[in-house]
Amino acid sequence: MTTREDAAREAAALGEQLRRHAHLYYVLDAPELPDAEYDKLFQRLQALEAEHPELRTPDSPTQRVGGKVLEGFAKVRHKVPMLSIRTETDITPGGASAFDARVRKELGLAEDGPQVEYVCELKFDGLAVNLRYEQGVLVQAATRGDGEIGEDVTQSIRTVQQIPLRLHGDAPPVVEVRGEVYMRRDDFEALNERQREKIAAGQKNEKVFVNPRNAAAGAVRQLDPAIAASRPLSFFAYGLGEVSSPEQGGPDCATQFDWLQQFHAWGFPIGAQTQRARGAIELIAFHETIARQRDALPYDIDGVVYKVDSLELQRRLGFVSREPRWAVAHKYPAQEQLTEVLGIEVQVGRTGKLTPVAKLAPVFVGGVTVTNATLHNEDEARRKDVRVGDTVIVRRAGDVIPEVVGVLPESAARPAEQRGPVFTMPRRCPVCGSDALREEGEVDYRCTGGLFCAAQRKEAILHFAARRALDIEGLGDKLVEQLVDANLIRTLPDLYKLGFTTLAGLDRMADKSAKNLVDALEASKKTTLPRFLFGLGIRHIGESTAKDLAKHFGKLDAIMDATEEQLLEVNDVGPVVAKSLRTFFDQAHNREVVEQLRACGLSWEEGEPAARAPKPLAGKTFVITGTLPTLSRDEAKDKLETAGAKVAGSVSKKTDYLVAGAEAGSKLDKALELGVAVIDEARLLEILENGL
């Protein structure tokens, strides 16, 4: 038997050898050791750890094989939110120019000023994850989730060979590396070939995967990490979450590109095509180069990503809503294929919208097999003259719903008797039989059945239960379908009348699941006014608008009784939103639903309406720089915006005042150059109190 000391020394040496050879094989694609020799080293380390279990560390190469099956995913709150990136709507090279122009405008750069430096990357088609390392060791991996809260997938991520369990070289006390878990095309095809063999052999519960992204994401989000271990997953690093400051031992990186090089030094693969670019011309060149290479790449991408390289400029540019101003995803023209229209059906959405959908002969487009494609509305279907039996061009761009672009000319030229009838939208809802009406100025028909329409009930309940609304965990698509189809739920308040016995008696509903749902329903009764408003599914009322309404009126009854004129006083509420709100609460059955929900125990804190204070600084633009004596920048910004001022991030000719504190930098120089009035905190407070 090997002594403890000898075993420890040998295990440490084997671990270093195996990590080095795994990095050469999986990351650098430059193996130095035959597979059989690697296996011998691996098996020897396994034997040592079996003999001395205390030597089995979290970063051991043996810990990649998948651990115990989980009962459920734990929630992880991201220390730094995983925000989404804006998608450039102009898919031509002009989209790159538009992004550069926006950046220059936000930075206040003149047309003849210096070019902005960017980092150009590929937009990988996989699953975004956040990897947390403490003292260089992987301690947690989480999905993006809603950007604030993700799912703990550490056990599955440990099986991805390209992700180091221990960072190479010096590591800070804490660092979070973000990137994409994906599957190469050749690995995907090999996986599907194995799946087809299993199916042919009669193995049940096996399937052929639709595309690499779903196969990769599905593997990571399995409760059994052995499933992830059995699939050939890969990884690219591209972003940063929480990290120790340089003073605390973190790297002192000044640019996005520097961070990418640091990721590579720590042992992560980064995109080989990643490069720096200066100005719009070089962004366009990168976009066009990758477009030519796209089909030859060993993995799927749906576009490229541009990021301002300087971290200081990123901070200056900041964010708008939940998206950074300093980055954009620039997609490529949609991929298209030909197929046949087998039928045209009408689907009813959550808000009652009727949408014609072409049923297609299956066709592989943009990485997925497509059998349905939207025709958008009656006018669009007639404009394109899509009929049953036609050969049509189907387009799918990224995750956008597939659409019928048009009819193949040869198919459209057939004699009328050889084509199906011209599409006409039914004047009654195909689900509940209620009238389908088209409002003046609208292109869509909508069912008037409201909560009486089964199609709308299902979607309305799912929306009500969603994470950003009432957050009723466990109330998913299949369960809602069962509950509605069994006539156990006709309106939202019926949710809160469900008991344990009823739920436990449903198909595929165990006692534990039933109890968890009852508990989740009870917990959801304590909510907030914005969440409740958003959960009602009122047309045009998103999360942001719901928050503005709650802040402005303070109480639900005040919102329900507000006139259109009063609603128009709310920030960002225009005529369309005001009319939609008024129409919703003018319906007696909608008010009845609200009152029944209150009677079921739903409650939230309410307050007084926001003060309708005058806006003495309306029309004025301020910029804040440096450290103020008593106010934080956020506090100063809030005070200015409350007074009606706009607070910008950079100085330009349109700036009225620069509020300068200690250590004011380039913004002060710019203000003096442009003749912008410069004030200190004392003068700012005086203006806020007495006006200009």
Q: What is the CATH number of the domain that holds 21?
A: 1.10.287.610
Residue 625's SS3 state is strand
pLDDT for position 113: 87
Question: Do residues 224 and 351 share a domain?
Answer: no
* Number of structural domains the chain divides into: 6
Question: Do residues 219 and 175 share a domain?
Answer: yes
Question: Do residues 170 and 218 share a domain?
Answer: yes
Angle, alpha carbons 529-535-539 (nearest 5°): 110
Q: What is the 3-state secondary structure (H, E, C) of 72-94?
A: CCCEEECCCCCCCCCEECCCCCH
Identify the sign of the CA torsion 280, 281, 282, 287: positive
Question: Do residues 686 and 655 share a domain?
Answer: yes
CA distance 178 to 181: 10
pLDDT tens, residue by residue, 436-474: 888 767 889 988 766 667 788 888 899 999 999 999 999
From 524, 543, 574, give the residue that closes a domain. 524
Read off the CATH number of the domain in which 635 is found: 3.40.50.10190
Question: Do residues 457 and 469 share a domain?
Answer: yes
Q: Which long-range contacts (CB under 8 A, 24 or more apart) does 42-51 make?
A: 42/18, 44/10, 44/14, 45/11, 45/14, 45/15, 45/18, 48/2, 48/7, 48/10, 48/11, 48/14, 49/11, 51/1, 51/2, 51/7
In a domain, 612, yes or no: no
DSSP string, 467-517: TTTT--TT--HHHHHHHHHTTS-SSGGGGGG--HHHHHTSTT--HHHHHHH
Question: Do residues 316 and 339 share a domain?
Answer: no
CA distance 369 to 391: 17
Chain centre distance of CA 230: 27
In a domain, 102, yes or no: no
Question: Do residues 181 and 317 share a domain?
Answer: yes
Question: Do residues 392 and 500 share a domain?
Answer: no
pLDDT for position 34: 67
Question: Do residues 373 and 487 share a domain?
Answer: no
Read off the CATH number of the domain in which 173 is found: 3.30.470.30
Q: From residue 63, give the alpha-carbon distance in Å to each of 176, 359, 386, 614.
A: 20, 47, 55, 63
Q: Which domain holds residue 151?
A: 117-331
- Backbone φ and ψ for 3, nearest 5 degrees, come out as -65, 160
From 546, 567, 599, give the residue that closes a domain. 599
In a domain, 90, yes or no: no
Question: Do residues 125 and 56 share a domain?
Answer: no
Residue 66's SS3 state is coil
Q: Cβ of 368: how many Cβ atoms within 10 Å? A: 15
Question: Do residues 544 and 568 share a domain?
Answer: yes
Beta bridge partners of 355: 347
pLDDT tens, residue by residue, 317-341: 998 867 899 999 998 765 778 899 9
CA distance 3 to 637: 66
In a domain, 514, yes or no: yes
Question: Do residues 346 and 399 share a domain?
Answer: yes
Tokens 């799946």 appear where? 195
> Which residue ranges of the chain lie beneath pLDDT 70?
1-2, 25-31, 33-36, 38-39, 63-71, 210, 321, 333-334, 366-367, 397-400, 440, 449-452, 611-614
In a domain, 613, yes or no: no
The catalytic residues are 123
DSSP string, 319-338: EETTEETTEEEEEPPPEEEE
pLDDT for position 611: 66
**Token code pair at residue 82:** 């995983």
CA distance 610 to 550: 9
In a domain, 500, yes or no: yes
From 274, 307, 331, give the residue that closes a domain. 331
Q: At what angle do helices 4-22 and 35-51 cross, to 10 degrees?
A: 150
Read off the CATH number of the domain in which 549 is found: 1.10.150.20
In a domain, 139, yes or no: yes
pLDDT for position 452: 66
pLDDT for position 300: 84
Chain centre distance of CA 601: 33
In a domain, 668, yes or no: yes
| Edge-to-edge order in the sheet of strand 646-648 | 646-648, 621-625, 657-660, 677-679
Q: Cβ of 566: how many Cβ atoms within 10 Å? A: 16
